[in-house]
Amino acid sequence: METQRSPELAYRRAFQEFADKVKRVQSLAENPNSDRRAVEAAELDVELARSVYNSARDAWVKCLLPDGFDDEPCRAETASAF
């Protein structure tokens, strides 16, 4: 079970980071005085966080699959950009 725990935690952290980045973009977008460059930078942060989240999600799902279902083993490590 410990092998599964690390990918699950990485998934949860990545999801929270992605949600935080989306909230930041929404906050900037609601403010008519937001600097356009800040909005664009925040949008890029969302895309990066989405990519990290997708990788973490996929790694965790592989741990949930029955043995032999996938050629790749469950990985405890996931890519992080944070």
Is residue 71 very low, low, confident or very high in pLDDT (cuts 50, 70, 90)?
low
Per-residue tokens: 10: 């990485």
Three-state secondary structure of 21-79: HHHHHHHHHHCCCCCHHHHHHHHHHHHHHHHHHHHHHHHHHHHHCCCCCCCCCCCCCCC
In a domain, 59, yes or no: yes
pLDDT single digits (tens) 4-17: 579 999 999 999 99
- How confident is the model over 14-66, as pLDDT tens digits? 999 999 999 999 999 999 999 999 999 999 999 999 999 999 999 999 988 88
Q: How many domains does the chain have?
A: 1
Per the domain annotation, does 81 fall within a domain?
no
Range of the domain at 58: 2-64
Residue 69 domain-assigned (yes or no): no
71, part of any domain: no
Residue 22: alpha-carbon gap to chain centroid:
11
28 found inside a domain: yes
Examine residue 75 and state whether it is found in any structural domain, yes or no.
no
